[in-house]
Structure 1
């Protein structure tokens, strides 16, 4: 069962143009994500899907593989499918890894293909991590201050997603109940046929309300398996704006590199 990992990477960005080529402690952002993905268990091939020759050239310079995809791709999901088709790949599982997830450990990325290889009934999967109390408190404070980044998820007893939200769910009316808050990690695994079905669907009402593509799957009856992961003491952070770069560099200096 072949697994293709696709890292969508656009040069144009309203908040952070050229973000994939940003230097992060001596390595370009896209190289860091490529290295972490290449080290993940269960991944057979890694490609960067881009629409810009500058990114493709940078990937080639560090020894990675890039594939050119149309500028008309509206999101990473469409770009992942475009890469699959451009490569004429026969991969049965496609892992979509966000190009700005510079601190996502290889074992978190690899958890998704491992679970999907083991259970052929899983159409789509994505990881989540249980927030420790101090992290949850900071997360809630950031949301209260108006920050948009960061997504939470709730799921049933069979680890099937019930809902994803940019707000903090569930609402803790009774904090003493000890119900955990789970942070969603933005990478996805799809069966090839599920990816095609998802891209063919129109954007759904909840997806448009929350700006979360995964809600399109839930609204159209595509189940999403939540994969519980553990960062093993590592910090989770993504680069959404230029101000995030210094924080990521500080984390790497403090905790060390994920891969050599």
Structure 2
């Protein structure tokens, strides 16, 4: 059985939302918990995982993580993105894992089966160096993505992939162009990229030394460094199974996520 490590990278100095990991989110029962705690609790429900750690460069996040019982790895404040932070955390822990998962600290609604299927997908496809989940948008989700872009908000990332589910591109724009509207529950050809990554340890260790390309710079998407350096990315299609999913990217997403948690009965 493969040994799996989950790392939750979290930084305080977010450009779009400073202090985001410490934002309070109320569950269906009214209890408020920090974003980083809810992300850690999501990670702890994943089966077949050897270890879960929070990786941060900020003492405030470290203190909060220790308060609710998480293991913390302190990293440099020079990490350019979550993947670099996860790579540094793996090095600090001394390796010894077959697959390393990056569960970004702004995705508390990530169901356990997304990560479990992601790990299984990477294990079953030796050609892939990175695996990441994608969720087919229904009309309502697609409209939410489009509405955010109309108002110059980044509501999510979309993905396109080809034969064998090999990743072709990821964008904060809504791609591909569809040219028509869809019913609220109608499947669409647009896939929402879920911000979780599973890496082979040797690929993760090499990532910080790869050159940063123009597409990663323009989009601000860390996974594009893999594509720009000719690395194979596997997109694993996952199913929502009735669960709503959203990432906390902007302050306005707090109310949206709390409403989703209330509707789904998530505490």
Distance 1:142 1:52, change over 3 A: closer
RMSD over equivalenced CA pairs, Å = 1.9
Structure 1 gap ranges (5+)? none
Following superposition, which runs of at least 4 residues in structure 1 exceed 6 angstroms of deviation? Answer: none
Corresponding residue number in structure 2 for 1:12: 13
2:88 and 2:173 mapped to 1: Cα distance?
31
Change (3 A) 1:174 1:101: closer
Is residue 153–residue 165 contact of structure 1 (8 Å, CA) maintained in 2?
yes
Q: Give, in whole Å, the separation in 2 of the partners of 1:234 and 1:142.
A: 21
Trace 1:49-88 onto structure 2 (pairs within 5 A): 49-88=55-94
Deviations 1:139-198 (A, max 9, x none): 22332332223111111121101111121211235889x961111111111101111222
Unaligned runs of 5+ in 2: 27-31
Shift of 1:243: 2.5
Distance 1:161 1:143 in 2: 23
1:226 matched to 2:235? yes
For the Cα contact (< 8 Å) 1:43–1:110, is it kept in 2? no
Match of 1:33 in 2: 39
Secondary structure of the corresponding residue to residue 91 of structure 1: coil
> Residue 240 of structure 1 aligns with which residue?
249
- SS of the residue 1:180 aligns to: strand
Match of 1:162 in 2: 168
TM-score normalised by length of structure 1: 0.92
Change (3 A) 1:175 1:192: same
Tell whether 2:102 aligns with 1:101.
no
Q: For the structure 1 residues 141 and 249, does the alpha-carbon distance in structure 2 shift closer, same or farther, using more than 3 Å as the test?
A: closer
Greater displacement, 223-232 / 162-171: 162-171
